[in-house]
Copies of this chain bind each other. A is one copy, B any other.
Amino acid sequence: MAYQLHYWPGIQGRGEFVRLALETAGAPYVDVARGDPKAGGGLPAMRRYLEDEDVKRPPFACPFLVDGRRVVAQTAAILLYLGPRLGLVPAGEADRLWVHQIQLTLADLVDEAHDTHHPVGSSLYYEDQKPEALRRAQEFRRERLPKFLGWCEAILQRNAGNARRELPRLVGARLTYADLSLFQVVDGLLYAFPKATRRALRKTPMVAALHAGLPRKNKRLAAYLASERRIPFSEQGIFRRYPELDS
Contacts and interface: CB of A to CB of B under 8 A. Distances in A.
Interface of A: 53, 56-58, 60, 70, 72-74, 76-77, 80-81, 94, 97-98, 100-101, 104-105, 108, 111, 115, 119-124, 129, 132, 135-136, 139, 143, 148, 151, 154-155, 158
A122 B144 CA distance: 10
B101 A155 contact: no
A9 B178 CA distance: 31
12 contacts: A57-B101, A57-B158, A58-B158, A72-B97, A72-B101, A74-B101, A76-B104, A119-B119, A121-B139, A123-B143, A129-B132, A132-B132
A58 B123 CA distance: 36
A238 B122 CA distance: 20
Given A111-B111, A136-B121, A143-B123, A154 B101 contact: no
A169 to B, nearest CB: 14
Contacts of A56: 158
Contacts of A123: 139, 143
Contact of A104 (B58, B74, B132, B154): B74
A93 to B, nearest CB: 9
A77 to B, nearest CB: 5
Given A135-B120, A136-B121, A77 B100 contact: yes
Nearest to A135: B120
A100 B129 CA distance: 34
A119 B132 contact: yes
B158 A135 contact: no
A143 B155 CA distance: 39
B57 A155 contact: yes
A125 to B, nearest CB: 13
A19 to B, nearest CB: 19
Contacts of A57: 98, 101, 155, 158
Contact of A135 (B81, B121, B136): B121
A60 B151 CA distance: 7
Contacts of A132: 119-120, 129, 132
Contacts of A139: 121-124
A94 B70 contact: yes
